[in-house]
Amino acid sequence: MQRKSDQQKQNSGTFRPGREKSKVDPTGLLKELPMPPFELTDRALGIYIEEGNELILQGILKPSDIRLLAMYCTEVATYIELMAAAQLEGIIIELPNGISTSSAYRKAAESSLKNSSALADKLGISPIGRARLGIRDSAPSGKPDPLDPFMQFLSN
């Protein structure tokens, strides 16, 4: 069976940007950031470019991660926009009956923050996510990490 061309994949809706051979190195990691798999707001696109390039520099971004990255960027952008709206309205608002409560914008922002944190862990963007995935940050200025002996002790 013959492979479909990129144009045939686009027509059938199965084309996945980022899986193009020229953008992937022999280990399956991306060499350059592909276009997002779906439309992003300007703020989310800026985050996508910034975080995507950082993940490529760290050598951990694969073509299969692109959708997760785009979802993460959408959630972060949503959080920023909702928090701006909450600050305009007031983080704590007083209802007509005199009860104080969190702004609806604040509650929605908390949901976006929770979603983005979970996606950051899966992508290795957060420190906990990197630790869970076994990704080590490079030691600054070539100095050995003082915790290396301790970590080696724990792994034995």
pLDDT of residue 18: 55
pLDDT at 83 over 60: yes
| Tens digits of residue pLDDT in 27-76 | 778 889 999 999 999 999 999 999 999 999 888 888 989 999 999 999 99
pLDDT of residue 139: 44
Domain boundaries, the chain: 17-132
Separation of alpha carbons 100 and 53, rounded Å: 43
Residue 126 pLDDT grade (very low, low, confident, very high; cuts 50, 70, 90): confident
The answer to whether the Cα torsion of 37, 40, 43, 44 is positive or negative is negative
Contact 9, 1 (CB under 8 A): no
Which of these ranges, 1-10, 60-69, 93-102, has the smallest mean pLDDT? 1-10
Residue 90 pLDDT grade (very low, low, confident, very high; cuts 50, 70, 90): confident
Number of helices (H), then strands (E), belonging to the chain: the values are 6, 2
Q: Average pLDDT of 95-115?
A: 91
- Count, residues in the chain: 156
Q: Average pLDDT of 125-150?
A: 68
